[in-house]
Structure 1
Amino acid sequence: MTGNVIFDLSVRNVRRHFLRSFLAAIGIVIGVIAITSLGIMGANLTLSVTATLSENSDIIKVSPGGGPGGGGGPGFGGGGGSDEEEYIDESQFKDIKQAASPNTVIPVYSESDTITVGDLEGRATVYGLDPDDIATLLTVANGTFLKSTSTALVGPTLAERYELKIGSRITIGDEDSDEGTSTVRVAGILEERGMTYDISTDNAIVVSDRWFTGFYGGEGEYSEVIVKLDDINDVDAVEEAIDDQLNRKEDEVTISDASRMMDSITSSISTIISMMMGIGAISLLVASVSIFNVMMMSVTERIKEIGILRSIGTRRSVVRRMFLYEAFILGMLGAVVGGILSMIIGYLVVLVMIGTTDYFFTFDSLIYIPYGIAVGIVVCVLSGVYPAWSAANLDPIEALATE
C-alpha cells in the first residue's frame, strides 16, 4: 500500500512539472534513438555483407605472391612489361589446377584502362576470361554471352553510367599508349553482383582471353586464379593442397577465401559502429546531466514535503524510492518513445545507407531496440541515485523549518 502511495506521489510530481520533465525526457529519447539506430544499421550492414560473401563461400582466390614467375613479363598489366609487375605464370597455373582437381579452376586476366563511349571518357577494369569460364562464373541479365572476340559484357553500374545498351560500342585504350585503342561491341549486360570475392564486375568490362592477350599481350600471365569448389567443405583441404604445391620452398602465391575477408570486414564494421555508438552515447550522458538537474531541483522544491513525510515516520528508504520512481518514470517514458521512434528512423537509415531492408526484421537487428531502451532507463535511474540519497538524508526538523 505504501509503495502505491509513494509511486502516485512520484507520478504527481512529474505531471506537476510536465514541461520540465518533458524536456529532460527528450534528451533520453535522442540518446536512445542515436544508439539504437546506429546499432540497427551496423547489424544490417554486417548481415548484408555476410550474406553476400557467403554466396562466394565456394570460391578460393589465388593471387601472385612475388615468388618465381611473379616478376612480370612483356605485355601484362599494360602491355609494356615491368619488372615490378606480378602475375601467375602458366607453370604455376598448371600446378594450381593439379592441386585443386577435380574442382573448376579459372585463370583471370585484368587491366585498368581508359574507355570511351561517344563523348564520355573514363576508366574501367577490363577482365579477360575464357568464354566457357564466363558462363560458369557470371550471369547475363540482358543480352547474350560473348559471340566473338570483338564483343564484350559490361557490368550494370558501368552500363548505367555510360548509358550502354546491347550493340553499343566501347573504345578501350588510349591513343597515346603503346597499345593504342580497340573497339568492342556490347553483347550483354551482366547481372548485378554487389560485393564479391572473386572479380568485381558491376563496374567492369569482360572480354574473351583471346581479345585481352591480343590487345595487351602477356599470354599465360594471369592476375589471379579462381578455384570454384564443388563442395564448400573442401575449402581447407584445397587451400592446403595448393599451398603445399606452390609455397613449399618459398611463397609464390597468396591463397585466400571469402571467410577470411568476411571476418576482416565484419570486424571492421563492428569497430566503426561501436565508435559511432560511443559518440551517440554522449547524448545520453548529456541527458543524464539534465535528469540529475531536474531531480535536484525537485528535491530543493519539495524539502518541506520531505520534512513532513519524515516527521510522520516515513522511512528514509521510502523517500529514496519516491525519487528513484520519479527518475524511473522519466527514463521509461523517454526510452520507450525513443525505442518506438528508433524503429522508424532505423528503418529509414538502413534503407538509405545500405539500400535494402531484407535483414531489418531479424533478431540481430531488432535486439538493439530493447537494448537501447534498457540503457536509457538505467542511465535515468543512476542519475536519480544521488538526488534520492540527498532527499532521504535531509534532517526532518531542518526541512520543516525551511521557507
Structure 2
Amino acid sequence: MSLFQAFIEALESLNSNKLRSGLTILGIVIGVAAVIAMLAIGRGAQDSITGAISGIGTNLLFVFSGNEQANLRNIRPLTIQDAEAIGDPFLAPHVAAVAPFIQSGNVIVAAGGEQTRTSLGGVTPTYFQVRNFRVAEGEEINQEHLLGRASVALLGVEVAEKLFGRREGLVGETIRIEGQPFRVIGVMEEKGGSSFGSQDDVVLIPMTTARTRIIRRSTINRVDLILVQAVSARDVPQAAEEVAAILRERHRTEVGADDFTILSQQDFLQTVDTILGVFTTFLGGIAAISLLVGGIGIMNIMLVSVSERTREIGLRKALGARKRDILIQFLTESSLLSLIGGLIGILLGWLIAYIVGQVAAATGNAFTPAVGLDAILLATITSTVIGLFFGIYPANRAANLEPVEALRYE
C-alpha cells in the first residue's frame, strides 16, 4: 500500500466518524493552541518591554537609595551632591552624563476646565540627554530655569491631549500643578506606551522648583534616583564600579554593606527574561499535559477503531494485505488525526494571541504578539509525532491480528 492510498483511506475513515474524531483531537487542539499563544504572547511582550527599556535611554545605570541585601537600618539618601560627585570626570572617567531625578506619581494638573492626575518629574538639563527625550515643540528645561526656580513645565503628549485636546500650539499656555500656575514651554516627542509603562503621561519641571514648591522632602537636597549614562555600552561595567566607589566613600560604607543599589538596563532585561521564563514554563506545563491527554485520547480511539474494524482487517489480510500495509494504514490515521488537531490548534492559538494583543492595546499596554514560523513548525511536527507515538500500539495490534480469528470476530 502506498502512502497516498493510506492517506486517502485515513481521510475516509475519519470522515465517517466526524463527531468522534473531533472530540478525540480536542486535547491536541488545546495543547497546540497553548504553545502557539504562549510563544506569541511571550515574544510580543518581550519585544515590547525590551523596546520600552531601550527607550529609557542608552548605556544607562539606575542608582537607587537602599539595598535589600544589606538590610541596613540607617540608610543615607541620595543627594544632589552625590550626583555632582558621580559627574566628576576625574572620579568617574567612564561616565558621560548624570541626571538626578525626583518625582511624584500622583499630582493634579489642570488647565481651563480640564484636569488629570499624572506623574511629575523634577529634572535638570542633562535629563534630556540621558533619557533620549526630545522636544517636539518649544524648548527644554535649561540652566536658567533651574537657577531661577522658574515656574515652567514640559508636557508629555498624553497630558497635553487630556488637558487641551491637542499637542500643538501649547507654548505659552498656563497650567496649574497642585493649584500653582506654571507656563508651558514645550511638548515632548511621543515615546509610546507599553507594558513597562507610559512615558508620555508625565509633566517635567525644573528640579529646584519641584523640591521647593511641589515635591517637598525632609532633606532638601535629597533625590529619588540618579540616572548615569556611560560613555559607551562596553563602559557600563566600569562606570558602575566607579559610581559604587564614589558612593561608598561618600556614604562611608564598605563592599557588601552598600546603602544604595545600582542597576543597568541589562539587569532589567534579565529580570524580564526570568519572569517570562516562569510564564513560559507554566504554560508549557499546561500545554504538555494537554498534549499528553490528547495523545492518550488518540490511542484510545484507535483501539476502538481496531475493535470495530476487526473483520475488515481480517478480510484485507485474507486478500493478501501484509502486516506492513495494516500498520501503515493505522499509523497514517492516527498521525492525520493528530495533525488536523495541530493545525486547528495553530489557528486557535493565533486567535487567542491576537485577542490578548487587542485587549492589551485597549488598556494602554500595547504589544504585538509574534507568531513565528518556528513556532508553527514546532507545533506541526510535535502534533504529528504525538500521533505516530500514540498510534504505534493500536497499529501493531491491528497488524498482528490473525486473518482467521479476525474473520470470526462478531
Q: What's the TM-score once normalised by structure 1's chain length?
A: 0.79
The answer on whether the counterparts of 1:100 and 1:227 sit within 8 Å (CA) in structure 2 is: no
2:186 alignment partner AA: G
Other-structure match for 1:34: 34
**Deviation sequence 1:128-169 (CA, Å, 0-9, x none):** 112454466322234443485112123334444555663251
Aligned sequence identity (%): 27
The answer on whether the counterparts of 1:158 and 1:202 sit within 8 Å (CA) in structure 2 is: yes
The answer on whether the counterparts of 1:114 and 1:121 sit within 8 Å (CA) in structure 2 is: no
SS of the residue corresponding to residue 355 of structure 1 reads coil
Q: Does residue 147 of structure 2 align to residue 140 of structure 1?
A: no
Report the Cα offset of residue 283 of structure 1. Answer: 4.4
**CA separation of 1:42 and 1:366: change in aligned 2, threshold 3 A:** farther
**CA separation of 1:348 and 1:367: change in aligned 2, threshold 3 A:** farther
Other-structure match for 1:223: 224
**CA separation of 1:108 and 1:267: change in aligned 2, threshold 3 A:** same
> CA separation in 2, counterparts of 1:185 and 1:132?
21
Other-structure match for 1:105: 98
**CA separation of 1:222 and 1:42: change in aligned 2, threshold 3 A:** same
Other-structure match for 2:370: 360
Unpaired stretches in structure 1, ≥5 consecutive residues: 72-82, 173-180
**CA separation of 1:33 and 1:394: change in aligned 2, threshold 3 A:** same
2:232 alignment partner AA: D
**CA separation of 1:401 and 1:236: change in aligned 2, threshold 3 A:** same
Other-structure match for 1:329: 336
Report the Cα offset of residue 28 of structure 1. Answer: 3.4
**CA separation of 1:199 and 1:392: change in aligned 2, threshold 3 A:** closer
Report the Cα offset of residue 341 of structure 1. Answer: 5.6
Q: Does residue 123 of structure 2 align to residue 129 of structure 1?
A: yes
What CA RMSD, in Å, does the superposition of the two structures yield over aligned residues? 3.5
Other-structure match for 2:151: 150
**Deviation sequence 1:307-358 (CA, Å, 0-9, x none):** 233445644444233211101112223323443565565455445436344x
The answer on whether the counterparts of 2:174 and 2:181 sit within 8 Å (CA) in structure 1 is: no
> CA separation in 2, counterparts of 1:199 and 1:239?
25
**CA separation of 1:168 and 1:315: change in aligned 2, threshold 3 A:** farther
**CA separation of 1:242 and 1:104: change in aligned 2, threshold 3 A:** same
1:59 alignment partner AA: L
2:175 alignment partner AA: R
SS of the residue corresponding to residue 401 of structure 2 reads coil
The answer on whether the counterparts of 2:331 and 2:392 sit within 8 Å (CA) in structure 1 is: yes
> CA separation in 1, counterparts of 2:210 and 2:4?
82
- Structure 1, 262-271 or 336-345: larger mean CA deviation: 336-345
The answer on whether the counterparts of 1:34 and 1:281 sit within 8 Å (CA) in structure 2 is: no
> CA separation in 2, counterparts of 1:5 and 1:113?
70
Q: Does residue 79 of structure 2 align to residue 89 of structure 1?
A: yes
**1:238-317 mapped onto 2 (5 Å cutoff):** 238-247=239-248, 249-250=253-254, 251-311=258-318, 314-317=321-324
> CA separation in 1, counterparts of 2:119 and 2:289?
43
1:326 alignment partner AA: E
Number of positions where the alignment pairs a residue of Structure 1 with one of Structure 2? 376
The answer on whether the counterparts of 1:87 and 1:224 sit within 8 Å (CA) in structure 2 is: no
Q: Does residue 234 of structure 2 align to residue 233 of structure 1?
A: yes
> What is the aligned counterpart of 1:379 among 376, 379, 386?
386
> CA separation in 2, counterparts of 1:212 and 1:3?
77
SS of the residue corresponding to residue 207 of structure 1 reads strand
The answer on whether the counterparts of 1:37 and 1:349 sit within 8 Å (CA) in structure 2 is: no
The answer on whether the counterparts of 2:298 and 2:334 sit within 8 Å (CA) in structure 1 is: yes
> CA separation in 2, counterparts of 1:96 and 1:22?
67
SS of the residue corresponding to residue 37 of structure 2 reads helix
The answer on whether the counterparts of 1:170 and 1:186 sit within 8 Å (CA) in structure 2 is: no
SS of the residue corresponding to residue 100 of structure 1 reads coil
> CA separation in 1, counterparts of 2:74 and 2:102?
17
Q: Does residue 204 of structure 2 align to residue 206 of structure 1?
A: yes
2:268 alignment partner AA: M
Report the Cα offset of residue 59 of structure 1. Answer: 0.9
Other-structure match for 2:51: 51
Unpaired stretches in structure 2, ≥5 consecutive residues: none
Report the Cα offset of residue 214 of structure 1. Answer: 2.3
